Structure 1
């Protein structure tokens, strides 16, 4: 691959060329709490005589270079504490340390809306930033009953989550699809073990983290592959605090559906040796039991203005055991006064053992017949109303899936920072790896066919309650619940692996200078990312219709089933495991096994070289960060063309390369100490998801259709605009409002076309010509193609509000009460090739959070509510698109501090037993409905 190194390096050289050599005197120091042990990040440090301001970093450190020798007054401002001013004579390298306010060392995790210390930490970091960010301070993780990072992020302004089995899995920023945002661990891009770019955040325990930053407006020194923003997870460092720190946490969770206890434990240790070497270690283990009750409808259609289910309907019972093991080992070495080195490592192993029992009612479109003209009519003897359908049931299926999914995420970063003679550099080499291994699975289906031959009669489906469907009792249903009526349809084994590996290296250099009286910090850098994505699917399908279900039944029905008709506990997963070695070569479905094993395989190599130059201009009350980032992408793709009937798989290869020039400007204006205005513009590029651009061809000529990837997809490009105002009315509060707009080109949507209407940038060369010649002589002519396309233009815009308040600042009688609330309203619009206007996929139009707490003396009490509006989940047909319904989650916690070291707590999750609900076009048409129940968590934390 040939990178345009000259062009990219020139950006760095030109920017640095403007830097002026300034005086070498330096003022540096730290800002801590009153104890001297708790570093305060985000404090504003001002040299009054020079009107120069900087903010403290993660370890409470600050630094001014190019200071003329002389006497100065230096003031530190930190929300939640009174300002402190000290005088110093600067000569050469001078050091000045500050202690502010009371002791705010964290003996426990407290959310940003919790204790005054955590509240202040987040507000100060947000206030000091030159970009638009939201922060969960280090004390913020674990205060609410959060198992995963995704659950913790659900309370950040403008963020919402997608859940899986009741747990937060994917995170959305401002309602934007998780595939269009990015996540990193200690600045290292987090890989994804799936065939998408959206990162799974349910595997990383929140207890392993020290803080989370969500950057909503990008600066040139940040990877530009995000439309919504960047989520950066920060793990612990020994220099986050002074001296030895040990915290042990143990808890148990009880769920009302599983009626089981799930244990969880965390141990964290850090220490600083000789003021030079910092060691921080943390280990987390959880064994979580989940039970989910679910019912689903496959499809709906219309006849005579009435909706009916025209495919299948099923009950699903899930029993899961999720085991998480997380390890963090971080080392910081202050090699000298000018050089700091670090090693950051994270290992996370997630095992999901799942059993899924399904009872499926098939061919529900038997309610429809054809008249003499071939038009659809309601079949004789059947009937249809707004809330029910009556017809002869002819086929059902009983299925059990046993799956053990093992996911691993690892990140390693080695780097450091060096300063010399006014120059500052940082450098890093990193490795990130994610794997998803599905190699211990089996899925067995038993069919009860031709029911009407022996059990004639109609059944009635009642969907007057659209979330829970019910079938009428009677002879037919009695037969459905008799396992002896079922015979094996197929037994499937799966051995699938996904791997995502990225190596990266970066180097950044900066220098402070002064133009006249205007301080300027110049910065430039280079970064290379080399990523490999591999998907390898292997499936074996066996058939033997002589095997009866009765031999694989242990218990009859699921105990405590919540939805509609009873749910069978068969096939029994333990008994069906014996079928794994029971089939001979003659039982193998060669055609189906070959098709499923080859069509989804791909390998993608993606290399990105980036360079940037930027300047931070301190123009009195105005701080301006402006610059440009250039990213060159080179992608090599490998997939398969699979012909099911011929049992052939041909390798296909494509290559693509492109360059994006991405300017950005972030402006911050301090109208006063309490009023700050912000404006931002940045250009972004989001590359297609791996599963969208992989060059695969599924050609199923039996069904006259083809499913293909599109390696010719263009990356999504967007111009992003933000404008906001922040007001800090009292000692510890913030009130903010903002608007944002995103002008998007080349957004990617799934689409289905008649063969003659496929766009020119969709490559059909992998489909044999005889299947595209328009002459359907053998029933194999391809009539329909499903793929992914770019749409010309689309937009997202919205408004955000955020309010955080310590009520004790308003009235002393309310001392200890803390409130917060935020609201994000968005609109989005994209036009599909057929002219239909749709919102962005998974784009919520309304997100809000509210919380109220009381933290005084030994008691810490909190209640929170998190709301996410409905959104478009999948495109189907107009009026039948799959939608995710809105959801409101209520949670609460009560903590009691026994002494300075021990705290006990009780927490409640999903207190209102809120389900997850999907529907087709209208809430009256069920797609999926899940219940997870309420969970109660109790535990203790011991800190030294």
Structure 2
């Protein structure tokens, strides 16, 4: 690792150079020549379109570009939303906002900042950032490079995105300033959210500086309806020896050869995300001499967010309650490998043993600072070069905190408490003792879940005295830190020949280190009839913590033992004032009103858990904690050739990667009734691995005519490993055994048995590698018009995929009783991605009068892929999250200070994930097609002032998921319409 002292010395040296350059060069140096300073003034839709087309036309390879309409103004609200307008780019959303992207159907996309690697605090281990981290006002342009070039940092299989900040020398001489203020409001969230941006720049010709500050707050609605987790599924059979087989005639047809597709839990979730985001960038350029230029940049982002949920959940209480569905109008899906006939249904009666008012809060505090220092030399001779040093630090703290308010008593699934006088209901005032019938229907536009209208004359859920916090816990918390150092040297030698124009060469050393410390909160509970103290994660008032009958066996609430919370019944009516909310907002559906703990009270896990179970401490999860050091050494060579009819480049990049992976050995458990991963750290496992990649590339652009360009590209690509996917450990999921399994296997019903497991890290993974080929024709029939057609093929030589296998796993008492399904990442044997892209855009300035301000843009991408995986019926599956068809349509108008843009983005269905419900095997989870429509408009009411508005997701598009069969819908994510009004000034 580069020494901290070295880092500090370099930063101090460059700060000194900046200060001396600003004081001396601005005063004494002569004005720069036109060759030294390029001033680019881009304002408005038409100018932005022409600049982007100009970049594409004269690019070295296959490139699409987006340029900001004005200072601090990309075409859309977020970076990812703007990127989705590029042919071949598909985005994935977080709370309705674009968060990550696919290029040509693949997420293995490197994102660079001004041509080099950087750290994004929301995704420290990957090569693609979380774009919600980055305020769009800090970015002036974006290049999407779909072909590889020897001098571009390798790391993307299907493409590389280069985020470009404005450079001070691109400003007009003198002072430049800009500012904007705006307010946004969501159709569901009903909150008015502010955003402000300030920009200031100065350019003297020899010295220039600019600074941008951005601050925004946003509240986003993001409802979740239906299955609460696609991984918690099974096909319980009417007979069998598996732990989820109920041994009953579930559908009442007189035989026991059937199975029902089922999930553990269904719910209607009111979910809102609150984000506070700050961004700042500082750039300085100084022409130190006529030959030497210095550039320095600081790029800072900070985002604090809280994802808060309130959901009415009906579930089968896990063990022993899989026969809980009465399927109305069931559909026969054929025979399972076990010989049972599988049925699914879209109208179901859930005989729910448990109904909870679930509150949950996930928080993130994330921050990153990226520094870039560069000296470039350009003299009168053929040789030029630059040296660049990058250093960055980032950190992220994440918490998850849950409180489940039971409406049911717990008796329907054997959940009892004991106050020293024998077992009673875990929630004494809850509904019960039997199951509660809940109607779940997926046949309409939105799934709906209806509880009984009344029970014993009381409106279900209307009595706050029925609710108590029967379970609370905090898990999956982690602290992450990362640092990055890069030293890079680039050289260029020009030739005066008919074809060979220049040769470029360089070397680079990079080091990235990421550490993660994962933990849960553990509370000390004291046995009131003895001296025993135990540490507990799941503070579940129905699970036994202490063995008081002298048997020394596994505690059981039915055997007279004392449970967690034996003297601590936490009722909703006894909560502090303001902590309980009555909620009837479940987006587009109406299921009634219910009481919930305000999830904002869960933002601080320690404060919440200590209030009811004092003395919490951090309990380590060594299997999910790790440290990874990645070093890369690379060299490249590139030759550029051209004449009047063509431009071309050929070259290679050689990369050697060294990894040191430090994982933890999972020792003895340190708590009662908690996952096996919450344990002592029993030492380290250190894995050292190295691999090398030789990546040749070639790009050609041939001018068929003055306006028509034929383009071709070929190259080898690779993407760096996600450090988290090679370093995490084994996580075992366990559930309460329940009465039926307990009787069958002679164990306690309270014993937590292994149900499945996740292998979070695999140090033996190899990177994604591929060979890419591109060909296309581009017709530039005016400065603001393009018609193009391109074809591409990505031949995956190796890739990483999710897989499952069987392993013996111990129950909570350490005894191995069964095999369970383990999911994790492995290297696949290869696959393909091929397709075509069509694009047309034009300013219709040939139209008469006011119509001459119109412009249009259309693009369509066809991408067909093969992953090597198969679904339930053995049909071949595409790569995950790839839509075979995607497209954009944009209509814009610009004239006399008025601008208007209407845009639509379409994606066909895509494979969301490959689920493995117990008893079914691989089952494809698909997301249905979506179309998002956005609009923006502005008017220059003064030469320097503009009023503007925008609307995103005008139709309140939502995303529906189905399992294997189109008529087997299982869940929906509901997003809101957002409307923004603002004013922008420029001087």
Please, what TM-score do these two structures have when normalized by structure 1? 0.80
Quote the offset at 1:560 in angstroms: 6.9
Q: 1:165 aligns with which of 81, 87, 95?
A: 95
Partner SS for 2:776: strand
Q: Residues 838 and 859 of structure 2 are in contact (CA less than 8 Å); yes or no, is this contact kept in structure 1?
A: yes
Match in the other structure for 1:581: 610
How far apart, in 1, do the equivalents of 2:301 and 2:495 lie?
A: 43
Measured in 2, the distance between the counterparts of 1:457 and 1:539 equals 32
In the alignment, which of 790, 801, 809 is matched to residue 846 of structure 2? 809
- Deviation of the 1:376 alpha carbon: 10
Distance change in 2, residues 1:872/1:286 (3 Å): same
**Which digits, 9 at most, give the CA deviation of each residue in 1:477-518, with x for residues without a partner?**
944554424342123266521223211011011111134x32
1:792 is the counterpart of 2:792: no
How far, CA to CA, are the matches of 1:399 and 1:705 in structure 2? 23
Which of 542, 566, 580 is 1:554 aligned to?
580
CA gap of 1:731–1:290, structure 2 versus 1, over 3 A, is closer
How far the C-alpha of 1:525 sits from its partner, in A, is: 0.3
Structure 2 partner of 1:46 = none
Q: CA deviation at 1:620?
A: 4.2
Say whether the 8 Å CA contact 1:359–1:567 is kept in structure 2: no
Residue pairs, 1:843-922, within 5 angstroms: 843-877=882-916, 880-922=923-965
For 1:461, which of 440, 449, 457 is the aligned residue? Answer: 440
What residue in structure 2 maps to residue 707 of structure 1?
758
- Whether the aligned pair in 1 keeps the contact of 2:514 and 2:629 (CA below 8 Å) is yes
2:471 corresponding residue in structure 1 = 489
Give the match's secondary structure for 2:581: coil
Between 191-200 and 738-747, report the one with greater CA deviation.
191-200
Q: 1:881 Cα shift?
A: 2.1
Distance of 1:230 and 1:305 partners within structure 2: 50
Deviation at 1:814, TM superposition (A): 3.5
Task: Give the structure 1 partner of residue 180 of structure 2.
Answer: 249
2:119 corresponds to which residue? 191
2:502 to 515, 521, 528: 521
1:734-772 CA-partner distances (Å, limit 9, x unpaired): 11110000111221111111249xxxxxxxxxx9xxx79
Q: State the 1:384 CA deviation.
A: 8.3
Do the aligned partners of 2:625 and 2:728 also contact (CA within 8 Å) in 1? no
Report what 2:199 is aligned to.
268
Deviations 1:364-410 (A, max 9, x none): 733369xxxx99999xxxx9874312252211222222333112122
- Partner of residue 316, structure 1: 269
Shift of 1:145: 7.2
Q: Where does structure 2 lack aligned partners over 5 or more consecutive residues?
A: 2-30, 238-256, 327-336, 413-430, 522-536, 540-563, 671-678, 735-752
Shift of 1:817: 0.7
- Distance (whole Å) between structure 1 residues aligned to residue 729 and residue 601 of structure 2: 37
Give me the whole-angstrom Cα distance separating, in 1, the residues matched to 2:98 and 2:462. Answer: 35
Matches within 5 A, 1:612-631: 612-631=636-655
The SS at the match of 1:599 is helix
Deviation sequence 1:442-470 (CA, Å, 0-9, x none): 32223332358435663332222263232
Query: Aligned-pair distance for 1:300?
Result: 5.0
- Identify unmatched segments of 5+ residues in structure 1: 2-36, 41-55, 62-103, 757-766
Q: d(CA) in 2 for partners of 1:308 and 1:491?
A: 29
Contact 1:145 1:909 in 2 (8 A): no
Matched ranges for 1:463-862 at <5 A: 463-465=442-444, 467-475=446-454, 478-480=459-461, 482-483=463-464, 484-492=466-474, 495-515=477-497, 517-540=498-521, 541=537, 543=539, 544-545=564-565, 546-552=569-575, 554-559=580-585, 561-566=587-592, 568-573=594-599, 579-584=608-613, 594=619, 597-642=621-666, 645=669, 647-650=679-682, 651-694=684-727, 696-699=729-732, 702-703=753-754, 705-708=756-759, 709-755=761-807, 778-780=815-817, 782-809=819-846, 814-832=851-869, 837-862=876-901
Range 649-658 or range 482-491, more displaced:
482-491
Which residue, out of 313, 317, 324, partners 1:367? 324
- Give the distance between the partners of 2:393 and 2:440, measured in 1 at CA: 48
Length-normalised TM-score, structure 2 = 0.77
Helix, strand or coil: the match of 2:188? coil
1:205-216 superposed matches below 5 A: 205-216=135-146
Q: CA offsets per residue over residues 559-603 of structure 1, 9 Å max, x none? A: 474334236351234666764323557x97x9xx85x72221111
Aligned partners of 2:357 and 2:595 also within 8 Å: no
Q: Counterpart of 1:202 in 2: which secondary structure? A: helix
Q: d(CA) in 2 for partners of 1:871 and 1:290?
A: 24
Moved more, 731-740 or 553-562: 553-562
Structure 1, residues 419-453: CA drift from partner, whole Å, max 9, x if none? 232101021000133322125x5322233323584
- Displacement after TM superposition at 1:863 (Å): 0.9
1:352 to 305, 310, 331: 305
> Per the alignment, do residues 737 and 829 of structure 1 end up closer, same or farther by CA in structure 2, a change over 3 Å counting?
same
Q: Is the Cα–Cα contact under 8 Å of residues 308 and 389 in structure 1 kept in the other structure? A: no
For residues 448 and 514 of structure 2, the distance between their equivalents in structure 1, rounded to whole angstroms, comes to 41
Q: What is the CA–CA distance in structure 1 between the aligned matches of 2:644 and 2:141, rounded to whole Å?
A: 31
Q: Give 1:15-414 correspondences, 5 Å limit.
A: 60=38, 105-106=41-42, 108=43, 110=44, 114-115=45-46, 117-139=47-69, 146-177=76-107, 180-193=108-121, 194=123, 195-243=125-173, 244-273=175-204, 275-297=205-227, 298=229, 299=232, 308-363=261-316, 365-367=322-324, 386-414=345-373
* Cα offset, 1:868, TM superposition: 2.1
Aligned length: 811
Q: Distance in 2 between matches of 1:408 and 1:730?
A: 44
Select which of 363, 366, 374 maps to 1:415.
374
Residues 732/376 of structure 1: CA separation in 2 closer, same or farther (3 Å cut): closer
User: Quick check: 1:849–1:864 contact (8 Å CA) kept in 2?
Assistant: yes
Contact 2:109 2:128 in 1 (8 A): yes
Once the two structures are superposed, what CA deviation does each residue of 1:160-194 show, in whole Å capped at 9, x if it has no partner? Answer: 211111111112212212xx111111123132443
CA distance in 1, matches of 2:503, 2:263: 63
Change (3 A) 1:895 1:218: same
Q: Distance in 1 between matches of 2:142 and 2:786?
A: 19
